[in-house]
């Protein structure tokens, strides 16, 4: 049904995508759930490609998440197989068998070790994923792989997404120009506890796996872990970062402090920009969304506390429906702050919408001008700022409004 949904009004066009040397990829129709569209993606990586990953914190993860967690300590990647339409979650022994058969087929085609094959699945939970459909489609798909297959891959991993999502940046690493490019999918069941539903990023930089992992784990905190569509953490969340080494930049020590090393400064910034772009594209495609909410919290007792307050606001159905109705109902923001269990004081709290302070020191601002706020609420980008007045903790998160479209999509998801 994903291809029949109207494109989100918040959609952004694909950027002009480049090539990541050492990566070939493509998509094919395997008939897993959808008809008349691609639903299987294969990527092949040059020998020596390193990998990092973060995964869902759900206690009911899919079989592909278990598979990738087991492969990650080896630190190398040879191939990636992704399917849409069936999440291979809550499928017992059959789920593992599908992973095993799919990985074996991919390893043979790519000529790589089994423990360097990564798998991801997205779609309906609780239905057996027939590995025969995947393994039957893989040989012809492998023959068609191309360095320019990124857009096809971005479309092939979509479920209820209404537009493909990709981002690209370049950076200088030890005097060498490197490229970072990624794709993502996600529209509903998005309240990441590590990453979005699925995201895959590759670079031609030569970087050791421990350096990649350190960067990815840290930067996920301020990108994918700062978005929410509906407060529901997926069983299939996965973000993988691959580094092919094809740029042949000077060696980076595996034991360097990846978060502070000055030689990695430009790369860190470019990677963060790619992850942030992808995360915001997911929110822009929130199921039924018509408005993007940017929520800033300051004055909290800690950054962690500020994050929890911000997510409480972004996840509140009452806040989200007020935004959908273009109602600057600051009382609902106060409610969300007060309910989340974090330190807050009614008498030091202030709330601003669209840059206009509406409430301060426990009451509405006397005589504030509603005109610019009303105009702001009619736009697609809604800014909410809360100052708790308690400390120096800050956070920034992104959410979207809640419309009847969300119910329409999810009420008929399996039908």
Binding residue ranges for substrate: 159, 185, 196, 287, 410, 415
- The beta strands (E) that lie in 57-175 are given as 79-86, 117-124, 165-173
The pairing of strands 363-364 and 356-360 is antiparallel
State the Cα–Cα distance between residues 53 and 122, nearest whole angstrom.
17
288, 402 Cβ separation under 8 angstroms? yes
**Residue in this structure with the two tokens 């960067």, named with its chain if needed:** 215
Please tell me which residue in 196, 233, 235, 244 is annotated as part of the active site: 196
22, 45 Cβ separation under 8 angstroms? yes
Half-sphere exposure of residue 300, counting CA atoms within 13 Å on the CB side?
24
User: Residues 192-224, buried b or exposed e (16+ Cβ, 10 A)?
Assistant: bebbbbbbbbbbbbbbbbbbbbbbbbebbebbb
What residues are designated binding site? Answer: 159, 185, 196, 287, 410, 415
State the Cα–Cα distance between residues 52 and 282, nearest whole angstrom.
21
**Residue in this structure with the two tokens 């991993």, named with its chain if needed:** 157
Query: What is the token pair recorded at 282?
Result: 């997911």
The pairing of strands 238-243 and 363-364 is unpaired
Query: What is the token pair recorded at 37?
Result: 């569209």
Terminal alpha carbon distance of the chain: 9
Number of helices followed by number of strands (H, E) in the chain: 11, 15
Residue closest to 360 by CA, chosen among 352, 150, 223: 352
**Residue in this structure with the two tokens 């009614």, named with its chain if needed:** 346
User: Residues 86-115, buried b or exposed e (16+ Cβ, 10 A)?
Assistant: bbbbebeeebeebbeebbebbbbbbebeeb
Residue closest to 95 by CA, chosen among 76, 73, 67: 67
92, containing H or E segment: helix 92-110
Catalytic residue flag (residue 102): no
Query: What is the token pair recorded at 57?
Result: 């914190």
Could you give the residue numbers annotated as active site? 196
């Amino acid at each position: 049904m994903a291809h029949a949904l109207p494109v989100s009004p918040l959609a952004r066009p694909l950027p002009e995508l480049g090539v990541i040397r050492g990566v070939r990829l493509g998509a094919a129709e395997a008939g897993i759930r959808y008809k008349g569209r691609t639903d299987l993606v294969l990527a092949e990586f040059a020998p020596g490609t390193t990998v990092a990953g973060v995964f869902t914190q759900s206690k009911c993860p899919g079989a592909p998440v278990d598979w990738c967690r087991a492969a990650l300590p080896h630190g190398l990647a040879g191939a990636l197989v992704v399917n849409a339409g069936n999440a291979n979650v809550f499928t017992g022994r059959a789920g593992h068998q599908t992973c095993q058969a799919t990985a074996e087929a991919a390893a043979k085609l790519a000529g790589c070790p089994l423990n360097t094959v990564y798998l991801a699945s997205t779609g309906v939970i609780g239905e057996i994923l027939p590995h025969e459909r995947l393994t039957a489609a893989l040989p012809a798909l492998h023959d068609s792989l191309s360095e320019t297959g990124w857009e096809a891959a971005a479309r092939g991993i979509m479920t209820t997404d209404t537009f493909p999502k990709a981002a690209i940046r370049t950076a200088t690493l030890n005097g060498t120009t490197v490229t970072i490019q990624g794709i993502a999918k996600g529209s509903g069941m998005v309240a990441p506890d590590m990453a979005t539903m699925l995201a895959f990023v590759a670079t031609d930089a030569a970087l050791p796996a421990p350096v990649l992992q350190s960067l990815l784990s840290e930067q996920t905190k301020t990108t994918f872990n700062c978005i929410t569509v509906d407060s529901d953490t997926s069983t299939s969340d996965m973000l993988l970062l691959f580094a092919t080494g094809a740029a042949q930049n000077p060696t980076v020590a595996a034991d360097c402090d990846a978060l502070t090393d000055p030689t990695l400064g430009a790369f860190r910034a470019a990677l963060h920009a790619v992850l942030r772009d992808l995360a915001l594209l997911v929110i822009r495609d929130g199921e039924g969304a018509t408005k993007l909410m940017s929520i800033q919290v300051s004055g909290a007792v800690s950054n962690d506390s500020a994050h929890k307050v911000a997510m409480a606001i972004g996840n509140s159905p009452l806040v989200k429906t007020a935004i959908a109705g273009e109602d600057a109902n600051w009382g609902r923001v106060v409610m969300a702050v007060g309910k989340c269990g974090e330190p807050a004081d009614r008498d030091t709290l202030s709330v601003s919408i669209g840059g206009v302070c509406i409430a301060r020191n426990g009451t509405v601002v006397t005589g504030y001008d509603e005109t610019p706020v009303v105009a702001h609420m009619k736009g697609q980008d809604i800014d909410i700022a809360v100052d708790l007045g308690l400390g120096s903790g800050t956070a920034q998160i992104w959410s979207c409004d809640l419309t009847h479209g969300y119910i329409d999509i999810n009420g008929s998801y399996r039908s």
